[in-house]
Structure 1
Amino acid sequence: MRSLVLASLVLVAACGAESVSYNVATPIFPAADAPTAFTRAYSMTESRDGLIRVYAKEDGDYTKLWEMRKQEDGSWSDPQTLDFPSRITLTTPSFSASDGALYYASDADIFERGQRDLNIWRVEATPEGWGEPEPLPASINDGARNFNPAMDANGHLYFTSDGYDSIGGHDIFEAVLDEETGDWAVSTMPDGVNSPKAEGHLAVTPDGNRMFFYSHRAPKLGVVDIWTMTRGADGNWQMPENLGEPVNTAGIDFGAGLSGDGSRLFFSRDGELMIIDLEVALAGEGSVSTSQ
């Protein structure tokens, strides 16, 4: 089966085609060695123009960011590591649908107090490479473990933290930038969005009306599943639902991300990066019962 997938993807790359459909969850690197518990990849994200992809990959105790750039023939370059400031962890990258920058988390030292936990950083992408990475201000990076950033086209930043009165291992929070002061106003999500279990690996559609994240909460199909939630007509977030099949399985499904136009879902299945059309991914939304 993997050989057939590989053959079809090679044909697509050779033709430079962009119209291919992913009606099933398809490996992004079908010829790569199977990941181990120490080499899992996740959180693939794509720039607004569809020309850059970045993802996180574990390497033992270290986690690094890797980038690929679309070439003139429509194929993708070989992955290369990104040399951003860190000690041992660069993780959860996400391109912003608002300013186009890459947001991610790093454990690099920041601020005068020598803050060393995970903090959210931002860097501009350029045709030649990258600008100068910079941490978000202390109104976001408050000394807790803050990571899993995702920003919609309206500039609303979502992230997870074990601070800010978190009720679980890590909870989802929303932040809006005050353009005059440069500070972020952080607010909690509606009751029922977060759980006593950890939430993580956020992805939000460009219009800000749908979010994906992983959770250990029930009901679930596997060790950990991907969940989704939408905004109602009143603009408020509705309660999350298990994404169900064909995305979730009895294994470990996590690390959601989106293509630049929001039409495709990236995710990690047991540490292997996958891609699927978003409309196909949503087919099983809410289908997992409380008995599972």
Structure 2
Amino acid sequence: MSSRSLIALLALSLALGGAFAPLARAAASADADAPVAGPWTLEHDASPAFSPDGCTVVFARGHGITRRLLIASREGSGWSAPQPAPFSAGAWMDLEPAMSPGGSFLIFVSNRPVSAQGKPLDGNYEGQFQPGRGGNLWRVDRTSKGWGTPRRLPDTVNAGTSVYAPAVAADGSVYFMQPDPQTGHFRLYLSHFAGGRYQTPRALPFSNGRLADYDPAVAPDQSFIVFSSDRLPSTDTASAIFIAFARAGAGWSTPVPLGPSGTESRLSPDRATLYYSSTDRRIHRFALADWRGRHPDRP
């Protein structure tokens, strides 16, 4: 296995655990900046998905198949103690929540089966079989009465059992990652939501499967996308975070590194801050608006 392929395995191992978790732990080293304060206080807390007003956050806690989703609310200048999400209190592994920009629904990854009588999904990525660590995308609606019952996205999106890392645009379109059928490396895909239906997913043109790309976070208007990758300047132990911009009539720009290394990126409601899991397995933040201000040549 190449060192580049290993990076992708290490990144997903930090979320899913499994055979490569010891390697991920051995590779971890803290960034110079300190973790950001919040209701996420434990190692492996990850993927903070905020409501539009920033007053509610859903995030993942646990390691491997123990992962569940928690919810916390703003209380003054701090946060309430996180509580298990009512739709994530069962026996399934739930992770990688992504809030819709309007806050009316959440999409997350789960190894729960299609039928209630089934067994947890198995995964297969980077040439490795991962029993019980597969994933499909599920949607749960949020109304004034609370959270609804999760519903699996259709087979158009969930075409296999290794579909992870959702990101939701304002029009309902979903970005996600899944293994390339030829190389086994993770690629980024987009399923447009049009006419009330998810359309056939297409790989993003800059994500060609030769090197793994994963964990997208997209602007609501789809004007830019942030993601992790094992393309340079990633190292054998850390995944660089990149940004690419949508250009009118010209597709996506060439991705450029933002500077930090990490995975599971999430945008703040105002898109000014990027939250991500660093190599110390804690949530950090990056001043994305400041970066864009220093790079006015970027779209």
Q: Place the TM-score, normalised by the shorter chain, in its bin.
A: 0.7 to 0.9
2:277 is matched with which residue: 248, 253, 268? 268
Kindly state the Cα deviation for residue 273 of structure 1 after the two structures are TM-superposed: 0.9
- 1:125-173 deviation per Cα after TM superposition (whole angstroms, max 9, x unaligned): 245531111111111112331121111113221111126x464422111
Instruction: Provide the residue aligned with 1:220 in structure 2.
Output: 234
Kindly state the Cα deviation for residue 235 of structure 1 after the two structures are TM-superposed: 5.1
Report the Cα distance in structure 1 between the residues aligned to 2:101 and 2:39, rounded to whole angstroms. 31
For residues 26-65 of structure 1, what are the structure 2 equivalents within 5 Å?
A: 27-29=35-37, 39-59=43-63, 61-65=65-69
For residues 62-73 of structure 1, what are the structure 2 equivalents within 5 Å?
A: 62-71=66-75, 73=76
Instruction: Provide the residue aligned with 1:288 in structure 2.
Output: none
1:158 is matched with which residue: 170, 175, 178? 175
SS in structure 1 at match of 2:217: strand
Kindly state the Cα deviation for residue 207 of structure 1 after the two structures are TM-superposed: 1.8
Report the Cα distance in structure 1 between the residues aligned to 2:96 and 2:287, rounded to whole angstroms. 21
- 1:102-127 deviation per Cα after TM superposition (whole angstroms, max 9, x unaligned): 11100001159948231001112245
Report the Cα distance in structure 1 between the residues aligned to 2:117 and 2:203, rounded to whole angstroms. 26
Instruction: Provide the residue aligned with 2:255 in structure 1.
Output: 240
- 5+ residue gaps, structure 1: 1-23, 286-292
For residues 41-120 of structure 1, what are the structure 2 equivalents within 5 Å?
A: 41-59=45-63, 61-71=65-75, 73-84=76-87, 87-97=91-101, 100-111=104-115, 114=118, 116=121, 117-120=134-137
Aligned residue pairs total: 248
SS in structure 1 at match of 2:78: coil
TM-score computed with the length of structure 1 as normaliser:
0.74
Report the Cα distance in structure 1 between the residues aligned to 2:182 and 2:172, rounded to whole angstroms. 23
TM-score computed with the length of structure 2 as normaliser:
0.72
Instruction: Provide the residue aligned with 2:142 in structure 1.
Output: 125
CA contact (8 A) 1:43 1:255 kept: yes
CA contact (8 A) 1:98 1:155 kept: no
- 1:212-256 deviation per Cα after TM superposition (whole angstroms, max 9, x unaligned): 111122222652121111112325112212111xx33xxxx2221
Residue 104 of structure 1 aligns with an amino acid whose one-letter code is F
Report the Cα distance in structure 2 between the residues aligned to 1:31 and 1:88, rounded to whole angstroms. 22
- 5+ residue gaps, structure 2: 1-31, 122-133
1:136 is matched with which residue: 138, 143, 153? 153
Pair 1:235–1:77, CA change in 2 (3 A): farther
CA contact (8 A) 2:52 2:102 kept: no
Pair 1:183–1:97, CA change in 2 (3 A): same
Percent of residue pairs identical? 25
Instruction: Provide the residue aligned with 1:9 in structure 2.
Output: none
